Amino acid sequence: MSSGPTIFTITVMTTATIITDMFAYDFMINAFIAAGIAAVVSGVVGYFLVMRGQTFAGHALSHIGFAGATGAGLVGVAPLWGLIAFTLAAGIVMGAMSERISNRDVAIGVVLALALGFGLLFLHYHTSFATQATALLFGNVLAVDHAMIATLGLLGAITLAALAFIMRPLVFSSLQPELAEAKGVPLRAVSVAFLAIVALAVSVCAQIVGVLLVFTLMVGPPAAAQRITTGLWSGLFVSAGLAIGEAWLGLTMAFYTDWPVSFCIAILSALAYFVCIALPKQTRPAEVAPAS
């Protein structure tokens, strides 16, 4: 019998070396923690975003947040707070203008165009912000520090807690809005609250993949999860799991290839989605949480 190392042993040792090499650097540890927070938040919130057919809203809020971040830089405030302020305000306005599918895209488009105009104005008067603006557009998770991790953790906790608070009427109004309205569910209030929650999730996610690629974590994993699951809770867990897997594997790929992290995560998200849509679509039973 050979006394040499087996293929399994060599594989385990190689994997351990890869992990040890990555986590020898503090910035990689910080990146994994921050990416994990953003992935869970975006995977869970994004699941409802896709279920409600409001993916355009998430896309719009990310671009609107860019205008807020540039405006904050203009007045000397941390870009994150400008991002949060603008996305929250825009989310509330969009939710208040219309909860009807037929009018929602028009309302979102108007708010988006206005915010992008402000973003261009702010950059015109603050050209020295160009480097930070690039980081906001495409993300810079490798520059996350302990203070930012604490901030992301707090924002993530607030976002998930708020989502849990409105989950019952949110599911009901998303799946059967006419019945929910007849039962007395305030559709407009639920819409406003949900888009405010999406705004916070976008602010968290943008720190990892940038405002241009928020779809990567907020839409890709949830859309894939809804193709292969039939239940609400199973879908939420799969969506969050896919988002975490894509974020962490993307960081690993970037570490060993020197490719941009956001690019790696985007490729993995697209690949997972295309694999899932190639599989037979699961039949989803009606999951309504009727108002009591």
What are the pLDDT digits (tens) for 101-123? 445 667 677 777 787 788 778 87
Query: Tell me, what amino acid is at 154?
Result: L
Residue 274 in domain: yes
Rounded to an integer, the average pLDDT of 71-85 is 83
CATH number at residue 200: 1.10.3470.10
Question: What pLDDT is attached to residue 286?
Answer: 45
Q: Which residues contact 147 (CB under 8 A, 6 or more apart)?
A: none
Rounded to an integer, the average pLDDT of 261-288 is 80
Q: 32: closest CA among 244, 206, 228, 291? A: 244
Q: Which has more confidence, 93 or 200?
A: 200
Residue 13 in domain: no
At residue 92 the predicted structure's pLDDT band, cuts being 50, 70 and 90, is confident
What DSSP string describes 2-32? --SPPHHHHHHHHHHHHHHHHTTSHHHHHHH
Rounded to an integer, the average pLDDT of 242-256 is 93
Helices 130-138 + 79-97 axis angle, to 10: 50
At residue 74 the predicted structure's pLDDT band, cuts being 50, 70 and 90, is confident
Question: What pLDDT is attached to residue 71?
Answer: 83
Among 10-19, 71-80, 144-153, 195-204, the minimum mean pLDDT is found in 10-19
> Looking at the predicted structure, is the pLDDT value of residue 3 above 70?
no
The CA distance from 265 to 250, in Å, is 5
Domain count for the chain, please give it: 1
Number of neighbouring beta carbons within 10 Å of residue 182: 10
Residue 12 in domain: no
> Looking at the predicted structure, is the pLDDT value of residue 223 above 60?
yes
At residue 67 the predicted structure's pLDDT band, cuts being 50, 70 and 90, is confident
Residue 20 in domain: no
Residue 5 in domain: no
Q: pLDDT tens, 181-218?
A: 888 888 888 989 999 999 999 988 887 888 777 878 99
Which pTM value belongs to this model?
Answer: 0.83
Tell me the percentage of the chain whose pLDDT exceeds 90.
34
Residue 88 in domain: yes
Burial (Cβ within 10 Å: 0-12, 13-18, ≥19) of residue 278: exposed
Domain ranges, residue 44: 27-278
Residue 17 in domain: no
Q: pLDDT tens, 124-168?
A: 776 666 566 666 767 778 888 899 899 999 999 999 999 999 999
Residue 285 in domain: no
